[in-house]
Amino acid sequence: MMMLSESRKLFVSFFMFGLLNNILYVVILSAAIDLVGASTPKAVVLLADVVPSFVIKASAPFFIHLIPYIYRIWSLVSLSSVGMLLLSTSSQNAIGIKVFGILLASLSSGLGEVTFLQLTHYYNEEVSLGGFSSGTGGAGLFGSFIFMLLTNMLGIKVWIVLLLFSIVPVGFLVIFYLVLPSPTLTDDQITYQPVNQEDNELGVEFGSEAVVAVFEPKSNIETLKAHIYHTLTSMRPLLIPYMLPLCSVYVSEYVINQGISPTLLFPLEELPSWLFSTYRDLYVVYGFLYQLGVFISRSSINFGIRIRRLYWLSVLQFINVIITLSQSMYDFPFSRIWLLLVLIFYEGLLGGFSYVNTFISVSQDIPRSKREFSMGCVTISDSLGIVLAGSINWWLETKLCGWQVDRGRDWCLRGDSA
């Protein structure tokens, strides 16, 4: 049985993995206007920040088992550090270079989520999943707050802040080599073989031993086709119970966050000046409350809170889309901002509950022999949801803003709006 100190080390390791893996994603979105300018649609940054992540997650089930975990860790460090360096050192007008830097960081984020969720398979999954989920939730709070602190409050130039964040990915190596405990699976739980460090072919390098998955080399086209067909067939049972609910929740919440919330505006004179001095501030507050809700709900598994009916979360989140659309178009049902702020916080709670309960359900429902593969597959869902939402938002935000302008409210067109 795992000692308490080992359990704490395991939780801290995966908390830091989740925090480091997602924090650059949050910082990039926070710096969107600084990176590409106010005239470039925000959807450009959102899609550049998520499409590569989705691509790597969607393709990972077909090849990821061939890549040792330690190689994946080094790849995370290289991709994310180079990406942030490009963002920090390129000129203001070099939009193409900046977008390429975002693409590299996004590849790192996608590969990281697949890697660490699969890595939980080799440990106490409730502790490791709880830590990773809390860390990803914390990344939203810490990333947005640190960026605001360094730029808005301390006045440090954005390119210097981004340069500092290029060092952050080195933390992956520190945690992996110095903090992460050895795996806890036994021979009757998974097929593995101890190997010397120099002989490690797949998996998790822990001092002189590694967990190694057994696989057959693919030598011809027919075998490759069979491998692809088998992979797709193996993914099919995951679609309805796990992937579709998670994907639908993410579509709804990112439609709210990036498509609708920039148009959820109120007269500034009716708002407290200590919190809202420009229309941009409304969007910032919405984002903070959303991230707060995500952090709390993604940490809920550590307190024994479980939600098994995943589709109810999809339904409730879609109801939030209807409510916020109505608010944007007709100023109904909220005549004041305070209940809307509660709704945005609640929206974050639903999103976090969906994420953590989906993966804990996979860890509990799927046979151990298929669990590592299944964890990697289900990660496709959230990124696909964000990609779909980003595509919708490219059209939706403009339409909603035009609708408001036609009603005599031009706040969404002002330069100080989000």
User: How much is the pTM?
Assistant: 0.79
Q: Give 4-31 pLDDT, tens digit per residue.
A: 578 899 999 999 999 999 998 888 877 7
Q: Is the predicted pLDDT of residue 186 greater than 50, yes or no? A: no
Dihedral pair phi/psi, residue 70, rounded to 5°: -65, -35
Residue 38 has pLDDT above 70, yes or no: no
Q: Find out if CATH 1.10.490 is the number for domain 219-418.
A: no
Given CATH 1.20.1260.10, say whether it is the number of domain 1-186.
no
Residues 354, 134: Cα–Cα separation, whole Å: 13
Mean pLDDT value of segment 350-356: 96
Instruction: Name 206's bridge partners.
Output: 209
- Please write the tens of the pLDDT for every residue from 241-280: 999 999 999 999 999 998 899 899 999 998 988 888 778 6
| Res 286 pLDDT > 80 | yes
pLDDT at 108 > cutoff 60: yes
Q: Is the pLDDT of residue 406 over 60?
A: yes
Q: Where are the domains of the chain?
A: 1-186, 219-418
304-342 per-position pLDDT tens digit: 889 999 999 999 999 999 999 999 999 999 999 999 999
Q: In the chain, what's the furthest Cα-to-Cα distance?
A: 71
How much is the pLDDT for 185?
57
What is the pLDDT of the chain when averaged over all its residues? 84
Q: Which of 260, 356, 259, 348 is closest to 307 using CA atoms?
A: 356
Q: In this structure, how many other beta carbons lie within 10 angstroms of the beta carbon of residue 48?
A: 22
